Amino acid sequence: MISIHLGAKIHSEYRTVQLGSRRHRILILRPADQPEDRLLPGVLWIHGGGYVSGMTEMVYATRAFDLVAAGGAVVVSPGYTLSFKAPYPAAMEDCYNALLYMKNNAKELGIRDDQLMVGGESAGGGLTAAVCMYAKDRGEVNVAFQMPLYPMLDCYDTPSSRDNHAKGWDTRQNHLAWKLYLRGLNRDEPIPCYASPSRREDYSGLPPCYTFVGDLEPFLDETLTYVENLKKAGVEAEADVWPGFWHAYDVMHAEKPESKQAAEKFLQRFREACEKYFAPQN
């Protein structure tokens, strides 16, 4: 377990639930001392892995664990369909349906339904943006805040993802992962923003956002472009750029002072969001 709050006591629970047309396992983490009558912010945390790999248990090794241990949140980590099994839109639909599950079962899960949030790292960050866009457009569930960390957003090369050979994730891996994830799309038609969120044109009405990204990694430019597009549309958004970080540096080197600093800053922004952002359900 990699966390800035290793001594925290949490309660974990697995459930197998119907997410749309498919059944998936979800992992639920909540503070062990949460009173039954106290509702907490609920975070759908989506694991990374380039859309092709990863598992629900990665929630223990990422910033999501800190949200439970020190942020006072209930976190739901869905085991979504990986791209080697089925391409887009399977993963996005699974994650969106997990968000609907949280809304429809909020009280039983100990969650405030006016503080449903979405976050994730890498491909999970890309799915975070996609799910927020899909939720906004469908109007079935309102998201209060989004946290797409070093997100995988753009299926096309950017200046930082082109010829990038840094640790953690590189151009070759990026090309292969996008090819596998998008293989079901018609090449003659525009790529939808729910598949590659960088294709979005209208960013108005999306949830407020906080993210961070390293200055050495492929997703630097697409992360900053995403935040800038949100801000241009009048959405409150902020991105921290950490010098010397390659992809998932905060997880791979959690013991480093700069990783702890990034983790604390993330937790601070989450706590501020809990005080500031609310999205009542229709």
- SS3 of residue 92 by DSSP: helix
Per-residue model confidence as pLDDT tens digits over 26-62: 999 999 988 888 999 999 999 999 999 999 999 999 9
Task: Tell me how crowded residue 163 is: count the other CB atoms within 10 A of its CB.
Answer: 10
State pTM to two decimals: 0.96
Pick the CATH number of 10-276 from 3.40.50.720, 3.40.50.620, 3.40.50.1820, 1.10.490.20: 3.40.50.1820
Cβ distance 25 to 42 under 8 Å? no
Query: Which tokens sit at 63?
Result: 């910033």
Distance (Å, whole) CA 89 – CA 81 = 9
Per-residue model confidence as pLDDT tens digits over 189-209: 999 999 999 999 999 999 999
Domains of the chain by residue range: 10-276
Cβ distance 97 to 35 under 8 Å? no
Cβ distance 92 to 195 under 8 Å? yes
Check pLDDT > 80 for residue 96. Answer: yes
